[in-house]
Amino acid sequence: MRFFVFTFLTIFFLACNGPSETTSNTTAVPDRAATAAEGHMALTPAAIEPEVVFEYEDILWGFNWLPDGTMIATDKSGKFLLIDGDGNSTEVANGVPTVKNVGQGGLLDVLPSQDFATDRLVYFSYSKPANPDDADKADASTAIARGKLSADNTNLENVETLYEAGPKTGKPVHYGSRLVWGPNDGHLYFTIGDRGNRDENPQDSTRDHGKVYRIAADGSIPADNPFVGIKNAKEAIYSFGHRNPQSLTIHPETGAIWETEHGPRGGDEINIIEAGKNYGWPVISYGINYNGTQFTQLNSKDGMEQPLHYWVPSIAPSGMAFITGDKYPGWEGDLVVGSLKFMRLQHVQLDDSNNVVGEQKLINNMGRVRDVRMGPDGYLYASVEGEGIVKLMVK
């Protein structure tokens, strides 16, 4: 009975009120960046939209900008590309040295001279084969070189090697390598991985590999390098005990050198690099062997630096940049790190004391990220395998 009364009353009221009027309103998408800047909301990963500004299917290992806004990029196979603002590219066709493009080797990072507008010098790292005529089968090591970009951008002239690690080996792994200019001293800092010889190279100052290095712009050794004057030491070494560092960047306020390096299975690290310090590999680590066994029982030891942050499981970090400017409100001073393994960017949140206080995932599953840079326009850019150069816009 209650059901019939309820049904009757429902029909009665609907009949009295008549059909309801439906209206359609279109609301503009909010400017999330502007709203966040006013303090009304935090910028979220959902607000980030990747825009491909240069399409490229192969591996762009590193990229940077020339003073006129042209982008210069390295194709791992051994090409330099110049990319204009419209996404058109030309190849520097002549003068690029032969690389060993096997495994993790190839043409790696690129860095314009601090006075490029005057000298047109381009610094770069690559896997240099012992025999360029049979490069893929030759032993190789990481080399740091520079050459002059011709006025018409077609040739790399007067290429000279500034540093060449040794001995060469046939192992196809752990070349490093990133380059940055020290903001306080004007010297060139670069990384070289342990070249797959963890038990000999990283902890021995008389051997190359597994190190961060510092040289002057002309390749000479600064007199205040920490291993200058030490018997048989490689005097270009700035820090040691590294596995395979593939990121270097400069803190925008302190000028400190920040680095990421690959661990084995777990134990990828963020480190702040200081002169003469030992970063522990392979004596201490938060990782294990790829087969699940342990190679060390230690994750700390007196005289060895702890990482600022580490990842377990590994993300395979490659490329890193501090967020500056006003394009990403609320994220200023944070880090963005590329992940080869998870094919994304890792937003690493820092507090005022540079402690890691959180992480967010950006552009998930777009592709393996090789390099990350803040662009001259204030936006983040990343080189993504199979995509090209991607610009991180705010929706």
Count CA atoms closer than 13 A to 116's CA, side-chain side. 22
Q: Retrieve residue 36's tokens.
A: 């966040």
Dihedrals φ, ψ of 196, to 5°? 75, 15
**Please, which residues have CB within 8 angstroms of residue 84's CB and are 6 or more apart in sequence?**
70, 71
- Whole-number Å distance between alpha carbons of 7 and 172: 78
Element (H, E) at 180: strand 179-181
Residue-wise burial string across 201-211, b where 16 or more C-beta atoms lie within 10 A, e elsewhere: bbbbbebbbbb
How far from 276 is each of 227, 233, 258, CA to CA, in Å?
A: 7, 12, 15
CB 128 within 8 Å of CB 100: yes
Q: What pLDDT score was predicted for residue 326?
A: 95
- What one-letter code names the amino acid at 392? L
Beta strands at 309-311 and 179-181: parallel, antiparallel or unpaired: unpaired
CB atoms within 10 A of CB 19: 6
Mean pLDDT over all residues of the chain?
A: 92
Element (H, E) at 15: helix 2-17
Q: What pLDDT score was predicted for residue 32?
A: 45
**Does the annotation count 309 as an active-site position?**
no
DSSP 318: E
Domains of the chain (ranges plus CATH)?
A: 43-394 (2.120.10.30)
Low-confidence ranges of the chain (pLDDT < 50): 1-33, 35-37, 39-40
> Helix (H, G, I), strand (E, B), or coil: what is residue 386?
coil
Q: What pLDDT score was predicted for residue 288?
A: 97
CB 210 within 8 Å of CB 202: yes
CB 112 within 8 Å of CB 82: no
- Whole-number Å distance between alpha carbons of 125 and 55: 24
Q: What is the 3-state secondary structure (H, E, C) of 191-240?
A: EECCCCCCCCCCCCCCCCCCEEEEECCCCCCCCCCCCCCCCCCCCCEEEE
Q: Retrieve residue 364's tokens.
A: 């998930």
Q: What pLDDT score was predicted for residue 14?
A: 37
- Whole-number Å distance between alpha carbons of 375 and 250: 14
Q: What pLDDT score was predicted for residue 281?
A: 98
Q: What pLDDT score was predicted for residue 26?
A: 38
- Whole-number Å distance between alpha carbons of 14 and 18: 6
Q: What pLDDT score was predicted for residue 6?
A: 40
Q: Which residue has the tokens 């929706």?
A: 395
Catalytic residue among 40, 174, 209, 251: 174
> Helix (H, G, I), strand (E, B), or coil: what is residue 360?
strand
- Rounded to two decimals, what is the model's pTM? 0.90
Element (H, E) at 373: strand 369-374
Q: What pLDDT score was predicted for residue 30?
A: 44
- Whole-number Å distance between alpha carbons of 358 and 346: 10
